[in-house]
Chains A and B, each alone.
Chain A
Amino acid sequence: MVQAILDAISLGGTYALAALGLGLVFGVMRLVNFAHAELITISAYILVVTNDLPLIVSFIIAAVVTALLAVAMELLIYRRLRGTGPAIMLIASFGLSVLLQRVYELIFGALPKSAAIAPWMSGEVKVAGASVTISSIATVVITVVILLIAGYLIERTSLGLQLRAAAIDFKTARLLGVRSNRLIAAAFAISGVLAAIVGFIVVVENPQVSPMYGVNITILALVGIVIGGIASLRGSALGGFMVGVILSLLNTFLGNARVYAYSWLFLLVLIILLVRPGGIMSKANEMERV
């Protein structure tokens, strides 16, 4: 039971981080970045490939490369598509996602690459009389810390203020001197670092990294963003968290029918969207803003 609760929270936290990364980018340029999945994947690949190095070094390399890839996406692709409308950018990000998957396949092979990352994390400890895995505790701690840091960054710093303002009304933000190119690049960089952290969390649990490694989590995080309310980063993170918790609970309680967990999740999503098209955090009749 304790393990089930921890699992739910850690899965929720992981999706919240992924959702936050997606939400940041959506906020500043109305882009639903499908290729966020490939950011998570590259982080996981690098952690596996550099497993011989000390964990912290390995992670720093992963974070830097992932952030650079994220910024490169913006500079090479998305910047040129700005102003073409969200649908075009969404399709482009879909294409970029597939493109990167194929590139990974060429570099790392189609078969999963794996390595025991932080093997000490798979051990168990006793908490409140029940034994739980170290990794689930570590995940909960990491996600809480990162969410707090992200919260501070967004709510208390000048960069965060600019990000929030740009998400509400980029035109006016620019009139006040917010530098659009730099701010968007910064949002991509932060989203890359968040993706790297997500990559780390998931690769510890599941070290079998293949080209489509990050797709599932990204899709679920996207679902989370939309049901949480894309209008705010808080809503995005909360939605991601909820999706993780619900999925984890469905897996625990559905028993043999757990193969249908996704169906139930998606049905729930449909219902939430029909009742609250702007997400749970939105006011009932508030429209999506752009």
Chain B
Amino acid sequence: MEKIKNISGITRFSFIELFGPILIITAASCLIGFSSASLMLTVQFALCYFVMVLALQVFVGNSGVLSFGHGAFAMLGAFVSGLLTAPVRIKNNALSMTDLLQSIADIQVNLYLSLLIAAIVGGVVAGITGVFLMRLNGLAAGIATFALLGVAYNFFFNNTKFGPGSQALPGVPKFQNLFIPLLLALVALVLVYLLNVSSIGRTLRATREDNLAAPALGINIIRVRRIAFALSGALAGLAGAMYSHVAGTVQVQDYYLGFTFLTLSMLVIGGSGSIWGALVGTLLVISVGQVLLMMEQGKAIFGLSIDLPNGARAIFIAATLVVALLWRSSGVTNGKEFAFPNFKKKSN
């Protein structure tokens, strides 16, 4: 009984928990994004990462089952949306696309429609693979989802009929402004929050698997995990597609180990139990990365100029993750949702 009571994170809808993060994202995106063109790009990428981290939060954060497979859904979403929106002229003439299937080369759809399709494809594929994968637990689940990522990467890297292979797909239309990715991120946030406070979210957290060995899974748990996996697959597909429209290109390497590592790190650093954790983690990692990048470029930050050697940035980011885990293994937010700072001692 004790365990049920102590489910980390939210259990009931709370206005503050949802609108606090919404306000923070909107304010941060606008304030930082409109300060310079390069920061605008950073903010757009950050929003893509945030959607991906939300996708991971829904499944990994709630169920405690590790998944390395979400990179595969993001990759799929990026390829779908990239190929659907890239101009026919480019697809028919680019050197990297000589083998592309004619039927793919000749389609072109609207950006918004393609984002929707990417999410649906991600969700459907996650739904189908989830039917099998969700029977697994712990390490077996981790390796199986990794195998999924491996297959997707190996396929897209080598196949030139359904994409540019190891090369970049050129001409993917970029988002025209900050508000589209921002809106998409907010929609994802609301969806994830509503799911988390629903009975699905509660069941998932009640059966959280914090260690590799779990007792035999009941049918109900498997069903709930499948639903969450499909939904998080759809969000991952959306995140991948958004990423391609920020980068203006699709490259298979962008969605492989580095991407998987970075997004999982964001979730864990922030605290995997809540959307607030997902937000804090994303913000923290992106900011550390951005500040270090500016130092590398010798730019002054708050009037302070520290020169960093090239390559130090990547070391600091990885070190941040390790140190963050050593400092607080349950994440910066400790898995709690957003709340106003409370200086009064809690009565409980």
Chain A residues at the B interface, C-beta cutoff of 8 Å: 30, 32, 77, 80-81, 84-88, 90-92, 94-96, 98-99, 102-103, 105-106, 215, 219, 222-223, 226-227, 230, 259-260, 262-263, 265-267, 269-270, 273-274, 277-278, 287-290
User: In the complex the two chains form, what is the Cα distance from A287 to B137 in whole Å?
Assistant: 9
The answer to whether A77 touches B138 (Cβ under 8 A) is no
B148 and A87 form a contact (CB under 8 A): no
List the B residue with the shortest CB-CB distance to A270.
B147
Give every chain B residue within 8 A of A290 (Cβ-Cβ).
211-213
Selected from B135, B144, B311, B321, the residue in CB contact (under 8 A) with A269 is B144
Check if B304 is an interface residue, CB within 8 A of chain A: no
Q: What residue in chain A is nearest B145 (Cβ atoms)?
A: A270
Interface set, chain B 205-264, CB cutoff 8 A to A = 210-216, 257, 261, 264
| B residues neighboring A (CB under 8 Å) | 64, 66, 132, 135-140, 142-144, 146-148, 150-151, 154-155, 158, 210-216, 257, 261, 264-265, 268, 309, 311-312, 314-315, 318-319, 321-322, 325-326, 329
- Pick the contact of A91: B210, B216, B265 (CB < 8 A): B265
Chain B residues closer than 8 Å to A81, beta-carbon distance: 325-326, 329
Q: B214 to chain A: which residues have CB within 8 Å?
A: 287
Q: Which one of B138, B311, B314 lies within 8 Å of A288 (CB-CB)? A: B138
- Chain A CB within 10 Å — which of B139, B151, B261 has the most? B139
Q: Taking A266-B154, A267-B151, A274-B132 as contacts, is the C-beta distance between A222 and B329 under 8 angstroms?
A: no
Q: How far is the CB of B112 from chain A (nearest CB, A)?
A: 33
Question: B137 contacts A87, CB within 8 Å?
Answer: no
* Cβ contact within 8 Å between B158 and A92: no
Chain A nearest Cβ from B1, distance in angstroms: 22
Minimum C-beta distance from A26 to chain B (A):
8
A288–B143 CB distance below 8 A: no
Q: Are B318 and A95 in contact (CB under 8 A)?
A: yes
Q: Report yes or no: B268 in contact with A91, Cβ–Cβ below 8 A.
A: yes
Asked if A269 and B136 make an inter-chain contact with CB atoms under 8 angstroms apart, the answer reads: no
**Distance in angstroms between the alpha carbons of A32 and B144 in the assembled complex:** 14
The answer to whether A85 and B210 touch (CB under 8 A), given A226-B139, A288-B139, is yes
Choose among B142, B210, B213 the residue that contacts A90 (Cβ–Cβ < 8 A).
Answer: B142
- Chain A residues with CB under 8 A of B329: 81, 84-85, 88
In whole Å, how far is A250's beta carbon from the nearest beta carbon of chain B?
12
User: Quick one: closest A residue to B210, CB to CB?
Assistant: A85
In chain A, what residue has the closest Cβ to B320? Answer: A95
Q: Which 8 A-B pairs have the closest CB atoms?
A: A99-B318, A95-B321, A290-B213, A266-B147, A84-B329, A226-B143, A259-B158, A262-B154
Determine whether the beta carbon of B132 is less than 8 Å from that of A270.
Answer: yes
A77 CA / B325 CA spacing, docked (Å): 9
Q: Are A266 and B322 in contact (CB under 8 A)?
A: no
A32-B142, A91-B325, A230-B139 provided; 19 other pairs, C-beta below 8 A?
A32-B139, A77-B322, A81-B325, A91-B264, A91-B265, A91-B321, A92-B322, A94-B261, A94-B264, A95-B321, A103-B315, A106-B312, A263-B154, A273-B143, A273-B147, A274-B132, A277-B135, A277-B137, A288-B139
Task: Let me know if A274 and B318 touch, CB within 8 A.
Answer: no
**A102 contacts across to B, CB distance below 8 A:** 311, 314-315, 318
CA distance in complex: A104, B138 (Å) = 31
Residues of A within 8 A of B265 (CB): 91, 94-95
List A contacts of B213 (CB < 8 A): 287-290
Question: Can you pick out 12 interface pairs between chain A and chain B where the beta carbons lie within 8 Å of each other?
Answer: A32-B142, A87-B210, A88-B325, A99-B315, A102-B315, A106-B311, A219-B146, A222-B143, A223-B143, A263-B150, A267-B151, A288-B140
Kindly list chain A residues whose C-beta atoms are within 8 Å of the C-beta of B144. 269-270, 273-274
- Residues of A with C-beta under 8 A to B319: 99
Could you tell me the distance between the alpha carbons of A33 and B51 in the complex, rounded to whole angstroms?
Answer: 28
With A92-B325, A288-B138 as given contacts, are A260 and B154 in contact (CB-CB < 8 Å)?
yes
A residues near B148, Cβ cutoff 8 Å? 266, 270
Question: Which of chain A's residues has its CB closest to B257's CB?
Answer: A215
Out of A80, A263, A273, name the residue touching B136 (CB < 8 Å).
A273
Bound state CA distance, A140 and B51, in angstroms?
Answer: 48
Q: Which residues of B contact A86 (CB under 8 A)?
A: 138-139, 211-212
A82 to chain B, nearest CB (A): 10
B87 → chain A closest CB, angstroms: 29
Query: Which among A77, A87, A262, A288 is the interface contact of B150 at CB below 8 angstroms?
Result: A262
Would you give the shortest CB distance from A103 to chain B, in whole angstroms?
A: 6
When distances are taken between beta carbons in the complex, the residues of chain B under 8 Å from A215 are 257
CB pair A277–B143 under 8 Å, yes or no, is: no
- A263 with B211: in contact, given A95-B265, A223-B147 (CB under 8 Å)? no
Closest to A278 in B: B140
The residue in chain B whose Cβ has the minimal distance to the Cβ of A80 is: B326
Task: List chain B residues, Cβ under 8 A from A265.
Answer: 150
**Could you say which residues of chain B place their CB within 8 Å of the CB of A269?**
143-144, 147
Q: Which residues of A contact B264 (CB under 8 A)?
A: 91, 94
Do B151 and A266 have beta carbons less than 8 Å apart?
yes
What distance in Å separates the Cβ of B210 from its nearest Cβ neighbour in chain A? 5
Contact A98 B311, CB 8 Å, known A85-B211, A277-B136: no
